[in-house]
Amino acid sequence: MNYQPTLEFAESLDAQDELKDFRNEFLIPQHNGQDVIYLCGNSLGLQPKTVTQYLDKQLGNWQQHGVEGWFNNDDPWLLYHEQMKLPLAAIVGAKPEEVTIMNSLTVNLHLLLVSFYQPNSKRYKILMEGGAFPSDQYAVESQVNFHGFDPKDAIIEVFPRESEYILRTEDILSAIKKNADELALVLFSGINYYTGQVFDMKAIAEAAHKAGAYCGFDLAHAAGNVPLELHNWGADFACWCSYKYMNSGPGGISGIFVHEKHFENKELKRFAGWWGYGVGKRFLMTSGFVPARGAEGWQVSTSPILLMAAHKAALDIFEKSGGLEKLRKKSLLLTGYLEYLIGQINQKHGEELFKIITPNDPDWRGCQLSVICKRDGKKTFDHLTKNGVIGDWREPDVIRLSPVPLYNTFKDVYSASKLLGESLAALG
């Protein structure tokens, strides 16, 4: 694409965009009576207009049927989650029986670690990316402590090389090989929250298995953002949230993936609850847990129907859009345009005032660009906010901007970059 730094060019791309009408499916926050330029879908996606309708339907079922809503309404709650398994499986590259919807992200990570982190005196170490999202760090530390190991010894973190921001795949694979005899688990995010780097999940999974370890992924920033093939890559497990690129509401319901190769593995321990019992015999209320087949066997508590209704509203829009393949095509153009325009600002001023630390290869990034501000970073971010651009700030000097293909426009990207450039003069 031969980008141009003009409003007319941005508007021409919007006019050609086959997904442009999906912006109308969302409620856009307002600033001085105008739509904000919302570039924060990496933290919280926008609200689908249909959420109210989907919630009202389930509130009506509750009102009309009471407890019988689990069985007797036109949308029985007992099986409500099953309606979302096909679209979720498509998003993460899985078989429908390998995914289910439950709990929140870190709760699910803990539940999966119960099964897939079973250390012994020889194999007890967990390898993960340095600078992983803090919640993952805390979860891993607590799991290691729970099993009686010292996190300083049992957790191996792989960091970028000195003066680099991106982790080299060769360094990840080398670290796995180096520690192969002691590794119990390799746990990575699909996309690093800070830099926006997409990791080579296929290569990581293969290396982990060659080393004799399990491999799992936290897909908080990847699910609904970039193409995934969890089943084909052979990942043992994964979990994700639904409130970022899947637009399912603040603190929205989470999802998990468990590869089918583990369905009959009785050696895998798990923390059980009645919702993970086979649905056909769940209400016999017998002692002795017999898990449902598939990822559903990791369920614990009764489905939160209202959270699932918001999730369903968002997933239905995903399906209506034609799925991740079409969204990814637009995403590449949107993010590429933002990258180009930031480059134009630097070129105009003759120096790299805004340094993009996200990979410049589109295959290894999603919607997000992480930008180091060389001067007055927090003031620059505040200037954007005061002028109707919502991104997010990460200490000490990074602004994250994420143009999401379902609701962002090329004009959004142009206008945000224009304000970014104007901030230099405004801040002196």
Say if residue 280's pLDDT is above 80: yes
Say if residue 428's pLDDT is above 80: no
**In which order are the strands placed within the sheet that holds 125-129?**
99-101, 255-258, 237-240, 214-218, 183-189, 125-129, 155-158
Q: Which helix (H) or strand (E) holds 257?
A: strand 255-258
Band (pLDDT 50/70/90 cuts) for residue 369 is: very high
Band (pLDDT 50/70/90 cuts) for residue 324 is: very high
- Domain 54-320: assigned CATH number: 3.40.640.10
Say if residue 279's pLDDT is above 90: no
Mean pLDDT, rounded, for 69-91: 93
Instruction: Output the pLDDT for position 284.
Output: 86
Both tokens of 417, joined, read 């970059």
Query: Which runs of E-coded beta strand occur in 270-407?
Result: 354-356, 369-373, 389-390, 392-394, 398-401
CA 36 to mean position of chain CA atoms: 23
Non-local (6+) Cβ contacts of 60 within 8 A are none
> What is the spatial distance between Cα 235 and Cα 92, in angstroms, rounded to a whole number?
11
Reported as a single tens digit per residue, the pLDDT across 217-227 is 999 999 999 99
* CATH pick for 7-35+323-426 out of 3.40.50.300, 3.40.50.1980, 3.50.50.60, 3.90.1150.10: 3.90.1150.10
DSSP secondary structure string, 6-29?
SHHHHHHHHHH-TTGGGGGGEEPP
Say if residue 74's pLDDT is above 80: yes
183: three-class secondary structure by DSSP: strand
Say if residue 57's pLDDT is above 80: yes
Instruction: Tell me where in the chain the CATH 3.90.1150.10 domain(s) lie.
Output: 7-35+323-426
The Cβ of residue 18 has, within 10 Å, a number of other Cβ atoms equal to 11
Reported as a single tens digit per residue, the pLDDT across 196-216 is 999 999 999 999 999 999 999
Reported as a single tens digit per residue, the pLDDT across 244-259 is 999 999 999 999 999 9
Give whole-number Cα distances, 372 to 57, 216, 284, 386, in Å.
45, 30, 58, 19
Instruction: Tell me where in the chain the CATH 3.40.640.10 domain(s) lie.
Output: 54-320
Say if residue 73's pLDDT is above 80: no
Instruction: Output the pLDDT for position 50.
Output: 98
Average of per-residue pLDDT values in the chain? 96
% residues pLDDT > 70 (the chain): 100
Reported as a single tens digit per residue, the pLDDT across 12-53 is 999 999 999 999 999 999 999 999 999 999 999 999 999 999
Reported as a single tens digit per residue, the pLDDT across 129-172 is 999 999 999 999 999 999 999 999 999 999 999 999 999 999 99
Band (pLDDT 50/70/90 cuts) for residue 350 is: very high
